[in-house]
Structure 1
Amino acid sequence: MLEPLVEDVWTASRPLRFLGVEVGTRMTVVRLPGGGLFVHSPVPLDAPTREAVDALGPVKAIVAPCLFHHLYVADWAKAYPQASVSACPGLEDKRRDVAWSRVLDDEAPDEWRDAVDQVLFGALPMQNEVVFFHRASKTLISSDLVFNLAAHPSALTRAIAFMIGHTKPGPTLLERLMIRDREAARAQIGRIAAWEPERVVLAHGEIVASGGAAMVRDGFAWL
């Protein structure tokens, strides 16, 4: 149920259909230096998933990274009451049923600052995504910052991606249209690219296994 990516980083992919098209979704789990787990964009918590996660260590932090990736947070918070539960800005109002520990910004909290950096990509307020970087493995961890549907296993998904001009990893056409403050977006992408990630984990589509920094710069070169 969990796939090892690099040392101390695992992912779990699950099916997800959007407007009838299979786009998939993905959770990332990072083992922090103290042994606790950082769970990013949780997927449904079925018994096999819980067993696999518990085998890695205690869940320390549960993160809902953007306004669209929060559906299963309450289930995880109930299952792991000892864990902190963090929201991107605005989600605390959208999901009042969750007892949030904090609202995230550009500064990583003490829980994970020794291992994971973060940037709030606030230039796209429809998402308000907080993007993360695991320093030891040089892995960028995102939800909707970039998509990679052109490499999706589904032929229908690939065909639709091609028809809308999504032929390589990067933001979708809708995301491009919704960014109004390009100066702010350039600054935020500049900070993300400056991490020089080797790989990029994303929620929708295939993981970018190498050349992550170049992909980020190329994907947002239009800004």
Structure 2
Amino acid sequence: MRQIGENIWVHEDSMQMLGAPLGLRMTIVRLSNGGLWVHSPTALSPQLQEGIAALGQVAYLVAASNNHSKWLQDWCEAYPEAEVYVSAGIPCKVPLTHYHILQPGMENVWAGDFEWQSMPSVPLFNETVFYHVPSQSLIVTDFIQHYPEQDDYAGMVGMMTKYVFEPIGFKGCCVAPPLKMGFTLKDKPAFKRFISHIEAWAFTRIVVTHGTIIEDDAKAIFQDLTRRFLQ
């Protein structure tokens, strides 16, 4: 793990997607009460647990997009005292017993540490995004992604990138390609309000789950990427 700001750390991992490795990032925040908030849990290992223990006690497990539940059950078993917050589609995939659904109108149990907004009427993702106030970090799962440009397309990974991922939109700083298809947004005015709420936050970085953290001109990049949804 590495620290990227005040009381915020990240852990890098990967998984296979269509035969090519896809980078993953887990984000850990130490809350003002000392407990740990773990976003988008990755594969659990004894070494990772040791690193987590050095930071504090896991109080919350957060799986904030429908497509990020692969290792959630392992974490629930390893940290049974942690409260679990998930997107609406995850309970259909993971046999959870005690959990909370992330959704508009939910009480902000992390007030003082986070502000948050849930995507309205986007059942493909049901994603909730978070603004960590102390570190001025916007934390996203699939919504915003960042894949640096590649000049070398050697090997299978490079070929998959060039001929599969980039043509469907996984290139540079991007919104999740399915969001560019109008039919995925069931309530466009509500999604516009969702974007406007996020723009009002004073974030200076975007911690993405896929790709490279956006450290420079984060607000301007976000505004450029999401302008299409405000028109």
**How far apart, CA to CA, are the structure 2 residues paired with 1:153 and 1:28?**
29
Whether contact under 8 Å (1:31, 1:37) holds in the other structure is yes
Partner of 2:179: 175
Label 1:162 to 1:89 Cα distance change in 2 as closer, same or farther (>3 A): closer
**How far apart, CA to CA, are the structure 2 residues paired with 1:193 and 1:147?**
17
Partner of 1:71: 70
Q: Establish whether residue 60 from structure 1 lines up as the match of residue 63 from structure 2.
A: no
Count, aligned residues = 221
2:205 to 199, 218, 222: 199
User: Aligned-pair distance for 1:220?
Assistant: 1.2
> RMSD of the alignment, in Å?
2.1
Partner of 2:148: 150
User: Aligned-pair distance for 1:124?
Assistant: 2.3
**TM-score, L = length of structure 2:** 0.87
Label 1:106 to 1:7 Cα distance change in 2 as closer, same or farther (>3 A): same
1:43-192 correspondence runs (5 A):
43-95=42-94, 97-107=95-105, 109=107, 111-151=109-149, 155=153, 156=158, 159-160=162-163, 161-177=165-181, 178-192=184-198
**How far apart, CA to CA, are the structure 1 residues paired with 2:195 and 2:121?**
10
Cα-to-partner distance string for 1:116-167 (whole Å, 9 max, x where unaligned): 1110012422000011110111101111011112357985265355434544
**How far apart, CA to CA, are the structure 2 residues paired with 1:108 and 1:118?**
10
Partner secondary structure for residue 214 of structure 1: helix
**How far apart, CA to CA, are the structure 2 residues paired with 1:99 and 1:154?**
46
Q: Which amino acid aligns with 2:214?
A: V
Partner secondary structure for residue 16 of structure 1: strand
Unpaired runs of 5+ residues, structure 2, are none
**TM-score, L = length of structure 1:** 0.90
Q: Which amino acid aligns with 1:60?
A: A
**How far apart, CA to CA, are the structure 1 residues paired with 2:110 and 2:40?**
16
**How far apart, CA to CA, are the structure 2 residues paired with 1:64 and 1:139?**
17
Q: For structure 1, which segment, 104-113 or 125-134, has the greater mean C-alpha deviation from structure 2 after superposition?
A: 104-113
Unpaired runs of 5+ residues, structure 1, are none
Rg larger for: 2
Whether contact under 8 Å (1:149, 1:158) holds in the other structure is no
Q: Which amino acid aligns with 2:185?
A: I
**How far apart, CA to CA, are the structure 2 residues paired with 1:151 and 1:200?**
18
Whether contact under 8 Å (2:120, 2:187) holds in the other structure is no
Partner secondary structure for residue 143 of structure 1: coil
